[in-house]
Every structure is written in structure tokens, then in C-alpha cells.
Amino acid sequence: MPRPELTHPYVAARQAASIIMLRQVNSELQVYVQHRATTMDFAAGAVVFPGGRTDAEDALFDFGDEVQPILRQHARGWQRTSLGSAIPGRSVKNAAMMLRTGLREVEEETGVALKPDIMRPWANLITPVGYPKRFDTFFYLATPDDDVMPENITTEATAADWHSIESILHGDEAKKIALMRPTKFLLLDIVEAGSIQALLARDPVVNPIRGL
């Protein structure tokens, strides 16, 4: 997609979560993506991953004791991002807030209640200064079981389904679909790895990325 005009000297970045639901069919990597409605005021018409902005209620959600080990792992994964903190316990609370954001958004948009233990901190992309809307977006890689069947139940998208990464990239190159730069960057990175096994073997600590 073409970059919008850089007309705003400073707009604060809002925190958001986006979920890359990934599966492997034989040797083909597939992701679940949405086709955003052309009436949306952000990323209109683009092919995107499910997700959305953090709500105030997300910071109040209690996952319970059984999820605390997962939240500590997530806090380590996000330690170099804006979710990290030197204040004891704060980074775990921030990780819980963002995990809740991601799980809530996926359920609202696809009807699927993903389990926390399949959610892996994956990337943190921050919109550069100069855009009318900016996001500090935390991407998760999720590998749901085969019986998980997401559906398009949001008015923000006209369609949604599983597609091979190769077909999405080819559609963008042929100008049949529109990809935002962060989406394309993440898809190219995933397809280069070649397998879910190779992806999950990566260092879990995320480094923020700016400038895309």
C-alpha cells in the first residue's frame, strides 16, 4: 500500500495487539488473514491479521495462577519493548494486559478462544512519527490445533480465511490485494524460515522495529 502523507509532526502511538495464526499443511505455511472493509478509516481494503487496540478493561483482566508462568515468559519476550519495566511485577502485568488484548480481539473477530499457551511474543512494530494514526503493535505467533475453525464475524472485514503465505505475497506483487508494509515484512520473514519448527526455535526476546 502507498504511504499516507507525513503531515503530522507528532501523534502518540496507541498500544495494540495483532495475532498471526499460523498452520502448516504439508510443506505449505498458511496464515489466517482478513480483508479489511474499504470503509474503514485505517488500513482500508488491506489484508491484515486479526487484532486491535488495547482497552482499559484489558489491564484489569485476571488470568489466574495457572497462567502466571506463561505471563512471566511473555514478560521476558517483551522486555526490550514498551511493555518492559524495571518496576517489580510491572512487566508481567503489562504482558497480561497485552495477552488479554490479543485473545479478546481474536475472539471478537473470529469467534475463536485461543489458549494462552499457544501465544508466543513475536514482533513489536512501531509506526514512525508523521502519520495521522500511530500504533505500538505487539504481534503474537499462534499455532492453533486443526480443530480450531475461525470465522469472519466482524464488520471490520469483508472476508477472512486461511491462505498460503506465498499466495498472499503473489497477490500483493500482482496488485490484486493490498498489504501494509509491516504485514508484508512479517510474512516474508515467516516464509523464509520455512517451517513452524524453525520459527519456534528462534530467540523469544523481541526487539522493537521502527521505520516500516
Q: What is the greatest pairwise CA distance in the chain?
A: 50
Residue 7 lies in a domain: no
Give the per-residue pLDDT at 11: 83
Range of the domain at 188: 14-210
Q: Report the Cα–Cα distance between both ends of the chain, in Å, rounded.
A: 12
CATH number of the domain within which 176 lies: 3.90.79.10
Asked if residue 134 is part of any domain, the answer here is yes
Indicate whether 87 belongs to any domain. Answer: yes
In a domain, residue 5? The reply is no
- What per-residue confidence (pLDDT) applies to 100? 98
pLDDT reported for residue 116: 97
**Residue 193, in any domain of the structure:** yes
Q: Output the pLDDT for position 191.
A: 94
Task: Please give the helix or strand (H or E) that residue 135 lies within, else none.
Answer: strand 135-142
Residue 4 lies in a domain: no
pLDDT value for 29: 96
Question: What is the predicted pLDDT for the residue at 82?
Answer: 97
What is the 3-class SS of 105-156, one letter each residue? HHHHHHCCCCCHHHEEEEEEEECCCCCCCCEEEEEEEECCCCCCCCCCCCCC
pLDDT (tens digit, 0 to 9) for every residue of the chain, 212 residues total? 455 555 566 788 999 999 999 999 988 999 999 998 877 666 668 999 999 999 999 999 999 999 999 999 999 999 999 999 999 999 999 999 999 999 999 999 999 999 999 999 999 999 988 788 889 999 999 999 988 999 999 988 899 999 999 999 999 999 999 999 999 999 999 999 999 999 999 999 999 998 77
Whether 139 and 20 have beta carbons less than 8 Å apart is answered as yes
Q: Are 20 and 168 in contact (CB under 8 A)?
A: no
pLDDT of res. 7: 58
Q: Is the residue at 204 inside a domain? A: yes
> Could you give the number of structural domains in the chain?
1
| Model pTM score | 0.92
Residue 70 domain flag? yes
